[in-house]
Amino acid sequence: MEKIRIKGLVIISGWIFLCWGTIIALKGLYDMFWGEPEANLFSPHKWEFVTRQQWMTWSGFELTYGICCIGIYYLLRRYSAFLPDYIERKYEQNKTV
């Protein structure tokens, strides 16, 4: 018999979503209040290629995406409460066709 950890897989994937979502949400907040596009560094006048409205739309998308990833973390944590720690199945050796 081999043991397969089920609950651990769900928890690990939840932590990955939490880390990624936190990074993206913080980046969205930074872009929203302090950041600016790289196009401003190479243009003669700021906000010529990318308007402020377009930049706020982009940073709002980043913030929303990060919050959604954090929400998926919480859903996976709640879902993992219903799963067993591991399951057992009969060990199968390599089959040749």
pLDDT tens, position by position, 38-89: 989 898 999 999 999 999 999 999 999 999 999 999 999 999 999 888 888 8
Residue 43 lies in a domain: yes
Q: Which 8-state DSSP code applies to residue 44?
A: S
Q: Using CA atoms, how far apart are residues 43 and 47, in angstroms rounded to an integer?
A: 8
The better pLDDT of the pair 64, 6 is held by: 64
What's the confidence (pLDDT) of residue 6? 85
Structural domain that includes position 17: 2-84
Q: Is residue 94 part of a domain?
A: no
User: Is residue 66 situated within a structural domain?
Assistant: yes
Between helices 7-33 and 52-80, what is the axis angle to 10°? 160
The answer to whether residue 92 sits within a structural domain is no
Identify whether 21 is part of a domain: yes
- 69 belongs to a structural domain: yes
pTM comes to 0.80
- The answer to whether residue 18 sits within a structural domain is yes
Domain count, the chain: 1
89: in domain: no
For the chain, give the longest Cα–Cα distance: 69
Give the span between the Cα atoms of 31 and 17, in whole angstroms.
21
